[in-house]
Amino acid sequence: MEELLRTNNPVTVSFAQSLLKEDGITHFVADEHMSIVDGSLGILPRRIMVDTDSIIRARKLMQDAGLGCELPEKPIRDIV
């Protein structure tokens, strides 16, 4: 699994999940329940993780949907 994006915005998370689900890209949201730790302040970002085989397709999908600014400038590791 690779990190696609990380954000504190629950609307962005929901929108990204919807796009990924519609496109059939396997994903999950990490740190979704960390609000218990931060006291529901929303200071800990949620991470959307996708299969390594789908990371390039998922990044393109996010860019096409206008979420390119939410993606890290450089992927966590080089994608071959």
Range of the domain at 20: 2-70
Helix (H, G, I), strand (E, B) or coil at 39: coil
From the list 66, 52, 59, the residue with the least C-alpha distance to 12 is 66
75 domain residue, yes or no:
no
pLDDT in tens, the chain (80 residues): 889 999 988 899 999 999 999 999 999 999 877 655 655 566 788 899 999 899 999 999 999 999 988 888 765 555 54
What is the pTM assigned to this prediction?
A: 0.78
42 domain residue, yes or no:
yes
DSSP class of 69: G
Torsional class of 39: left (φ above 0), alpha (ψ -120 to 50), beta (otherwise):
left
Q: Report the CATH number at residue 34.
A: 3.30.70.790
35 domain residue, yes or no:
yes
